[in-house]
Structure 1
């Protein structure tokens, strides 16, 4: 098959969604498929909607492809444009914008419903994402669940090493992600301040929302945590692997994640997760077993989780070992790409028959 992958921005970007797209492209090419990447410039939501009525925009997508594979992140530019394309279309949904708690949610739901009703199939990264997609717009028969493998690092780490690390003091928490309000860093800072422990926090990630980052830094000072919280900014994969290896717990209490690839990456190092009970994290984190699930924005629950893990190092070790076991049980990228490839093949065949 000749496949055109449509994305916003560059395939080299480092968020979990782009990691997924990048590995999928690599696996599809390894399986003998031809994949061209069509990179659209980043847009504000209103500017993306304007693309649908911009003369000539649809021609950028109208190459000689058997199928277009579209990252749903680019849906503002595609919701009406797709109706003018004859090529069958499959969307990759990492998470719907309509799933986020925002005042513009009715607009997002309307546009994403329009977009999804114009595609022929959907790749979902989790069962939660598929539930949201099918509730909004599309039959489950036209979807496939193809979770990421999370093996960017795939470290060799034993149960004994996890147990030995768990005895170290103080408890070390790691936050990894683009720093935006949705990721819940402010909630984590408040939880750290309220916890009955001297736990430390390292914050790794691109300061996407500078104003929010400034508020979080002020919060650290106001809560008396200046000597216990470090902001590193974006770092290399090698440096990130070292941070994972040196910490006890991955704490990213996002308001919503379609999947939460970072939780799986943390689990590969034997890090239990503190995650929100919203979205795809529930596919990975079993509350009380390999991590803790808290309600979004619930800093008190975050504090309780930190206090528990700081005080009970045997439990910390057991949860870390369970986290690694959950990682080991995850399908690999070859299996994930095979599921996507089968859906693409089915969509192309159906288009030829119609």
Structure 2
């Protein structure tokens, strides 16, 4: 929909970072998105039909060898335009399945609606045309197979990458033994969209169970902002819970570097958790819910960093253990992130998903 320069977030960052790396490796990439840096956020206010017509037109003009869709609704409109222009044209269609659109809506509203059923139908139709699906984790592979009836042989599990130059430890190389500031305060951070499924209320409740010297800094914005502020007031931790709003990339890096650890207390529908890699890239350990793609992200690295979902007590206990010294080193966190650079991940797309290994002169950097 828009670039990460206009609206920061995991999906937009993933889209841009993957495209950037493909271009560096010699693949010609055309980015089709409705919002541009010129039109800016105001373009988001335009009607749905206008947006769909934009993608329909873009598909009608397209002559690409590979089409990689990152959102079912716009991908369907794009492919409809491509078909109208030339029903016999052959293009390899890739679908990046970032999560069930309809299920996210159900979770957000708390009930099924006609609109959510329509979203499910759109997804079903869009996925019929796809040759290959890219998912970030085993959890979303299962969702595709069981919810949408996709054959397992059409699914590639390719985890996300991370920009390890941007998300890096402090330049002075100082290792935070416990992440404490000079006044003895330990900072826990969370970089998330403020939605119910992200479980940030669980992190707020965990703070109430921890020592007074532990504070929580939450970066991001969303519909749960007022509810989180009210909860912090209600349980008496308002002075230790800081809602920072939406931060720029360099501010997020600074937040990771200055924190004891980051937390990802997601309730459901977590495809992987790009923030896990970004935090580890900065040398900052992550404590996350044992759910969805977070298992793929952390289980082989350090299984003890995964805690029972929906449990403030489990999260608080693991933070206490981490403060007491049960934590991976800065170097081991960094090495975990380095195993998933965007160069390595983009190469897997070229070879496994796009099928371009023999037809594209891929540059090794």
Counterpart contact for 1:116–1:137, Cα < 8 Å: no
- Output aligned runs, 1:299-310, within 5 Å: 299-310=312-323
User: Aligned residue for 2:40?
Assistant: none
What is the alpha-carbon distance in structure 1 between the residues aligned to residue 151 and residue 357 of structure 2?
Answer: 14
Counterpart contact for 1:203–1:230, Cα < 8 Å: yes
- Output aligned runs, 1:1-354, within 5 Å: 8-10=1-3, 12=5, 13-40=7-34, 58-62=56-60, 63-72=62-71, 75-79=72-76, 82=79, 85=83, 86=87, 87-98=91-102, 100=104, 102=107, 103-104=111-112, 108-135=119-146, 136-152=148-164, 153-156=166-169, 161-162=174-175, 164-166=177-179, 169-195=184-210, 198-205=213-220, 207-209=221-223, 212-255=224-267, 256-286=269-299, 289=302, 292-310=305-323, 312=324, 314-316=325-327, 318=328, 322-328=332-338, 330-342=339-351, 343-345=353-355
Alpha carbons of structure 1 residues 123 and 242: separation in structure 2 relative to 1, 3 Å: same
CA drift at 1:142: 2.5
User: Aligned residue for 1:3?
Assistant: none
What is the alpha-carbon distance in structure 2 between the residues aligned to residue 292 and residue 156 of structure 1?
Answer: 20
TM-score by length of 2: 0.77
What is the alpha-carbon distance in structure 2 between the residues aligned to residue 242 and residue 248 of structure 1?
Answer: 12
TM-score by length of 1: 0.80
What is the alpha-carbon distance in structure 1 between the residues aligned to residue 253 and residue 79 of structure 2?
Answer: 40
Q: Kindly tell me the number of residue pairs found equivalent between the two proteins.
A: 328
Alpha carbons of structure 1 residues 261 and 38: separation in structure 2 relative to 1, 3 Å: same
Alpha carbons of structure 1 residues 156 and 290: separation in structure 2 relative to 1, 3 Å: farther
User: Aligned residue for 1:4?
Assistant: none
CA drift at 1:268: 1.7
Alpha carbons of structure 1 residues 219 and 167: separation in structure 2 relative to 1, 3 Å: closer
Q: Over residues 307-344 of structure 1, what are the superposed CA-to-partner deviations in whole Å (9 max), with x where a residue is unaligned? A: 3333x2x213x46554334223x232122111212222
CA drift at 1:143: 2.8
User: Aligned residue for 1:352?
Assistant: none
What is the alpha-carbon distance in structure 1 between the residues aligned to residue 119 and residue 67 of structure 2?
Answer: 23
What is the alpha-carbon distance in structure 2 between the residues aligned to residue 239 and residue 81 of structure 1?
Answer: 36
SS in 2 for 1:203: strand
Note the residue ranges of structure 1 that are not aligned, 5 or more in a row: 1-7, 350-354
Counterpart contact for 1:146–1:337, Cα < 8 Å: no
SS in 1 for 2:57: helix
Counterpart contact for 1:122–1:142, Cα < 8 Å: yes
CA drift at 1:116: 1.7
What is the alpha-carbon distance in structure 1 between the residues aligned to residue 305 and residue 212 of structure 2?
Answer: 17
Which structure has more strand as a fraction of its residues? 1
Counterpart contact for 2:179–2:187, Cα < 8 Å: no
Q: Over residues 160-219 of structure 1, what are the superposed CA-to-partner deviations in whole Å (9 max), with x where a residue is unaligned? A: 9435345663331001122222211111111211335531111111x222xx20111111
Alpha carbons of structure 1 residues 88 and 34: separation in structure 2 relative to 1, 3 Å: same
Of residues 272-281 and 133-142 in structure 1, the stretch that sits farther from structure 2 once superposed is 133-142
Q: Over residues 5-36 of structure 1, what are the superposed CA-to-partner deviations in whole Å (9 max), with x where a residue is unaligned? A: xxx23353321121111111112212222211
SS in 2 for 1:34: coil
What is the alpha-carbon distance in structure 2 between the residues aligned to residue 106 and residue 300 of structure 1?
Answer: 36
Note the residue ranges of structure 2 that are not aligned, 5 or more in a row: 36-42, 360-365
What is the alpha-carbon distance in structure 2 between the residues aligned to residue 295 and residue 110 of structure 1?
Answer: 33
Alpha carbons of structure 1 residues 297 and 108: separation in structure 2 relative to 1, 3 Å: farther
What is the alpha-carbon distance in structure 2 between the residues aligned to residue 287 and residue 198 of structure 1?
Answer: 31
